Structure formats: C-alpha cells, structure tokens
Structure 1
Amino acid sequence: MATALIIAGGVGKRMGMDIPKQFILVNEKPVIIYTLESFQKHPKVDQILVVCKEGWIDTMWAYIKEYNISKVKWVIAGGSKGQESINNGVQFLKDYCDDDETVIIHDGIRPLVDELVLSDVIVKCEQYGNAVTSLPYNEQIFVKKTEDTTQQYIDRTILRRVGTPQAYKYGRLLWGYNKAIADNVGMTDSSYTNTMMVDLGETLHFAAGSDKNIKLTNTDDLALFKAYLKMKE
C-alpha cells in the first residue's frame, strides 16, 4: 500500500500573486489539481493526504470534490515552513500507516510528475526502503573564492539534482522526524526530508527523474508549465 503526502502549504510571494501559488488557475484549473490528478490516476497510489496552507482548507476540499479526486482522504493544516508541514503530515499518519507502508512525499507545486517517475520512486522504495527522484547535473559548478572570482570547480559527474517525489517506508520516516526534532537536526528553512535523512546518517537511493517535473516558484516557471500543457494538447 502507498500513501501520497502532498505538500501544499506555500505562499505566492515570488509569483507576485495575492493567492498561494498552488491555487493559481491555469486553463481554468488550479495548479494543485494537476498535481493531485497524477496521483489519482496512478494504480499504486491508494490514498492521499494533503497538507494545506492554513485558512485554505475549505477551498482545497471544494476543488477536490469539484474534480473528483477521490483518493484524497484527509486535508490538514501545514506549518510555517516546509519541514514543519511535512512533519505535520508524517505525525498525522500514525493512525493510518503501518511501518512497512510506502509514503510518497511530493510538492503540490510540481504539477507535471509523470507515471514513469512516480512508478520508479515507488518500486525503488519497496526494494531499498527509500527513493528520491533525481537527474544528472548538466551545468558547470564553480566555488566562489571571493564575491566575483573563483579558482575551483566541482566535477559534475559526481552530482545529482534531486527533487520530489521522494518515497520512504513509513516507520523509518516517522523515526527520522522524531529524531530530527529531538536533536534539532535537518529542520531549517532550506532543509527537506532527503537532506534531513542524510543528516541523520541514512543512505538514500536514486530513482528516475524528468526535466518536465518543474517546481513552480516564479512567473517563468508558470510560463514553462503552460507551454508543456500546450505541447501535450
């Protein structure tokens, strides 16, 4: 059994919008619904928990019902930062998930996750206990010597770009968040589940990724999303 934990607690500051970016309408449909539809359609996803920005839960439920996303069983409030929102979801699932169950964590503002990527992260997690979506890094990376000079670069062949979806066995995921909070490890604004687990000594396993699986953080990303949708049509 697999449970999807969709994080939709962000705001729209970098979009310059008055509403949270997951609720922006694209072709008359909210971004979050595109995301949820991918999980609704996937045969290995059994149930969905949405962690939503506080004050928007009723709106979320209204859209879920309008678009018949029947796998969504729960919508709960998020925290003030991403890691708090994920932890809210992980703690909530204590009554609903067994230790060996797969939990897939995904950003609600990544609306173009495809079936192959989702399938691979689930299969790898079932095989190894965790899996993180990844891609090779194709740009050159240099380390700053001063503000505007450098004498050092990083071999890009040793780098991977990771994002979501990520999947973890629930028992280990719950252990990770409980320990991270107790020890004050991996719960910063820039942390995520994958970095937290590595900070706690876990070995992570790479799964397939896709360049289309973009995160909508600014208006350029939104334009790219609209272009991908037009290509699909």
Structure 2
Amino acid sequence: MNYAIIVGGGVGVRMGANIPKQFLLLNGIPIMMHTIRAFYGSKHSPQIVIVIPQDQHDYWSECCEKHTFDIPHVVVGGGKSRFESVKNGLAAVQDRCVDLSRCLIAIHDAVRPLIAPDLIDATFEQAALTGAAALAIRSTDSVRLESANGLKNNAYPRQRVYLMQTPQTFKGPVLFESYKQDPDPIFTDDASVVEKKGYPITIVNGDARNVKITFPEDLRIAAILSGADV
C-alpha cells in the first residue's frame, strides 16, 4: 500500500497574508488542493494524509465544501515542528497499514502545488528499489562554502551540489525507524532524518517548476507556470 503525507504548517507570515499559505488561491482553488490532486492523479495513487494545525481543520473543511473538493484524504493535527508533524502523519499511516514492510510513504510539502504526477511516481519506484528516494535539482549557481568559524569561504564545485525538493519517498520500516530518533537541528527535511539513521539517499532528478510557495513572488511564479492569471 502507498501513502502520501502532505505537510502544511505554514501560517502566512512571510507571504504577508492573513491566512495560511496552503489556503491561498492558485487558479481559483487553495494551493493544497492542487497538491492533493497531483498525488491522487499519479499512477501509484497513494492514500493521502494531510497534516495541518488543529485550529485549521474547520477552515479546511469549509474550503473543501466551498470548492466541492471530494478527493478522499485523512486530516491529522500538526505538531510544534515539521519533525513532530511528520511523526503525527506517520501515526495515522500506522493505524491504516497492517504490514509496514509492504508500505511506501511519500512526504511532500503542501505548498509545492506544481509537482508532476510522473515525478511522484518516479520517487515511489526508486524507493521500492533502494528504500529512500528524494527529488533534487542540481545547482545552476556558483557555490561557496563558509568555514566553521565564518571567517573564510571557498568555492565549491556546483555540479556536486543538489537542491532538495519533495516528495521524498521511503519504505515504511526505513521511515518509521528513522523517526524514532530525537529531533536534531540538522533535520531540515526527511532525507536528513533518514540519512542520520544510516540509510543512503537516492537522488531522483527533480524539476525547477516544482516551486515551494514561501514568498509572494513564488505565488506569482506558480501562477505563470500553471497558466493561471497573475
């Protein structure tokens, strides 16, 4: 059985919005609905678990009713951090998955609405082979690394630098075992959690159009890429 945990913990501060960014409209519907549709329309068509703060659940229900959004999904309360929110999503998966060894789980940012279904499928297929697969794109910019004391920086080959995206997809036992660890500041995504547990990460080529909506200009870019009115 395949699952997708879609994490939406944003509150809209950096967007300058009065509603959480996952609920902002893109082409007439909330951003998170585009994200859910992509997973539902993928070949692997995972069962979908949405993780958002408890106080946003009623608003999400109202959005679904307003937009006649009926794609099946489970809504789970978020935690104080992304790490805790993913753990809450995993608990919901565990309630539904009898055999974790036969389970593949994708983790995705709710505010990456332009993810292509074929890329979702690619991460599932790679995770089935290697246990842990994550979308990423190579850096096209020159890169410099700062020294530990911040007094020096050095050029670094950009062809060896990847910019991580989601979804990041894992075999059930790999992800559940990794999330038994205590939180760590280095955990900036799920791949970093899994890597610290000792599992290698397989990179799947991502797409620059798989933008994460963080700032107002990101929403304008997403609108252009989706063909919506800006």
Q: TM-score, normalised by structure 1?
A: 0.89
| Residue pair 1:121, 1:208 contacting (<8 A) in 2 also | no
Partner residue, 2:39: 39
Shift of 1:83: 1.2
In structure 1, what is the equivalent of residue 69 of structure 2? Answer: 68
Question: Contact (CA 8 Å) 2:27, 2:228: kept in 1 or not?
Answer: no
- Following superposition, the deviation at residue 157 of structure 1 comes to 1.8
Task: Look up the SS of the partner of 1:90 in the other structure.
Answer: helix
User: Is residue 131–residue 170 contact of structure 2 (8 Å, CA) maintained in 1?
Assistant: yes
- Report the equivalent of 1:27: 27
- For the aligned residue pairs, the C-alpha RMSD in angstroms reads 2.2
Partners of 1:172 and 1:122 lie apart in 2 by 14
Shift of 1:126: 1.1
- Residue identity opposite 2:72 in structure 1: K
Aligned length: 226
User: Which deviations, in whole Å up to 9, do the C-alpha atoms of 1:16-53 show, x marking residues without a partner?
Assistant: 11110000122321111111111121131231000012
- Report 1:130-169 matches (<5 A): 130-144=132-146, 152-169=154-171
Asked if the contact 1:2/1:44 (under 8 Å) is kept, the reply is: yes
- 1:221-232 matched pairs, under 5 angstroms: 221-230=218-227
Question: CA contact under 8 A between 1:101 and 1:169: conserved in structure 2?
Answer: yes
Shift of 1:147: 10
Please tell me whether the aligned partners of residues 135 and 204 of structure 2 are also in contact (alpha carbons under 8 angstroms): yes
Return the alpha-carbon distance in structure 2 between the equivalents of residues 96 and 154 of structure 1: 45
Contact 1:81 1:189 in 2 (8 A): no
1:129 paired with 2:124, answer no
- Percent identity over the alignment is 25
Aligned to 2:206: 209
- Equivalent position of 1:16 in the other structure: 16
Q: CA deviation at 1:170?
A: 1.2
SS of residue matched to 1:14: coil
Query: CA separation in 1, counterparts of 2:227 and 2:125?
Result: 30
Q: Distance in 2 between matches of 1:69 and 1:101?
A: 24
Moved more, 210-219 or 146-155: 146-155
- Aligned in 2, Cα 1:190/1:197: closer, same or farther, shift over 3 Å? closer
Q: In the aligned structure 2, how far is the partner of 1:151 from the partner of 1:172?
A: 36
Instruction: Verify the 8 A CA contact 1:83 1:189 in the aligned structure 2.
Output: no
- The 1:157/1:46 distance shift into structure 2, 3 A limit, reads closer
User: In structure 2, what is the Cα distance between the partners aligned to 1:123 and 1:57?
Assistant: 32
Unaligned ranges ≥5, structure 2: none
- Report the secondary structure of 1:85's partner residue: helix
Measured in 2, the distance between the counterparts of 1:69 and 1:139 equals: 42
State the one-letter code of the partner of 2:71.
S
For residues 149 and 81 of structure 1, the distance between their equivalents in structure 2, rounded to whole angstroms, comes to 31
